[in-house]
Amino acid sequence: MKIPRALISGAAAIILIMSMAQSRSEAGFVTTVTPTVTTQPGGTFLYSYSVANDVSSTVGIFEFNVAVSTGSMLSQLTAPSGFLSLYTSGDFAVQFLSSDGSSDVAPGFTGVFSFISPLAPGFQSSLTRGFDDAGGVLFANAGTTLAPVPEPSTLALFAAGAVVLSIASAVKRRK
């Protein structure tokens, strides 16, 4: 039974959240994600990911996902020809999805995916997936990479705001 690519992609978000383990290779699907972060004029950061599909792989890469902070405000998303860049401001991940098997990153080749964010880098999860159209087999390699995250001072500000709101709520309830 063939599994439609759209159905497989829908489950990616759940897998992405659970995939903070070190990168791994599944038999028949060996990939390497190499992140590069460059500071841009105006204080933004260019995130570029070279995603290599080893020559020993038996399937192409049809999907690459990176977890990002919901405040990442990504712009200027780029992907290899034939890939869709799926991201809306406020999303917790950016997804790059091959439009059909002919645009997958073939074994022995590398695809470059990138975007710009005002947030500095930190560690986030990534997911690279391949699909055997003929056999209906899904391959997935999860790992940790660099991606936009809020600065610690921003997180401290959020925590302080939550404390103030909690105190105000408690005072209001006592009156």
Q: Could you give the percent of the chain with pLDDT greater than 70?
A: 70
Q: Residue ranges of the domains in the chain?
A: 5-150
- The structure tokens listed for 104 are 């997958």
In whole numbers, what is the pLDDT of the chain averaged over residues?
A: 80
pLDDT at position 20, please? 33
Quick: pLDDT tens for 80-134.
999 999 999 999 999 999 998 899 999 999 999 999 999 999 999 999 999 988 8
What's the pTM? 0.73
9 to 39, 41, 119, 155, 157: CA distances (angstroms) = 31, 35, 26, 31, 35
CATH number of 5-150: 2.60.40.2230
The answer on pLDDT for 19 being more than 50 is no
27 band by pLDDT with thresholds 50, 70 and 90: confident
CA distance 125 to 147: 8
Average pLDDT over residues 148-158: 55
Structure-model confidence comparison of residues 22 and 71, the more confident one:
71
